[in-house]
Amino acid sequence: MLAYAQSEGIVSEVEKIDTEQYRKQGGIIEIIQSNKPATWNCKKQGLTAREAYEFIEQLEKYQGKAYGVSLIVSALDDSGEVSYVAAPDCGLSGTTLKELIQHLQSIFKDAQGSQILIDVDKVTLELSQSLKDWFAAMKYQPKPGEVQQ
């Protein structure tokens, strides 16, 4: 099935939804083929420090790459803010994201610390089994259309 949304002159991208995901008992996880690459359209938005670092740790553990990354580092004393937006086709590993955050935070080393805010559009993994393991660790059942192979 193909779906899109339109409101007040704004039109979304066309989203392909595999309706087979609704028919299988056991849900989407059961139909994910473990030996194929996968894309998780996770649309993580507004992850603050704890959530962001938990996400980055999982990204490292399951060897994924994050796409559509935008990052804001703000000084706690309001002395400044730095933002970073990755190119849409630029995949960042968990390690790279950690290093990037540390680099941006170093700008505010004299500012009594900093706060981070991160957005991620999607995650890719070379083997879908890693994504299935990630979902199992989170006790998460993906929604239809959220995982593509």
In a domain, 5, yes or no: no
Q: What is the pLDDT of residues 27-79, one digit of tens each?
A: 556 677 888 999 999 999 999 989 999 999 999 999 999 999 999 999 888 88
CA distance 7 to 100: 36
In a domain, 110, yes or no: yes
Number of structural domains the chain divides into = 1
In a domain, 21, yes or no: no
The token pair at 104 is 């941006």
One-character DSSP codes across 90-109: --B-HHHHHHHHHHHHHTTT
Q: Does the pLDDT value for residue 25 go beyond 80?
A: no
In a domain, 7, yes or no: no
Q: Which domain holds residue 62?
A: 34-148
Q: Does the pLDDT value for residue 117 go beyond 60?
A: yes
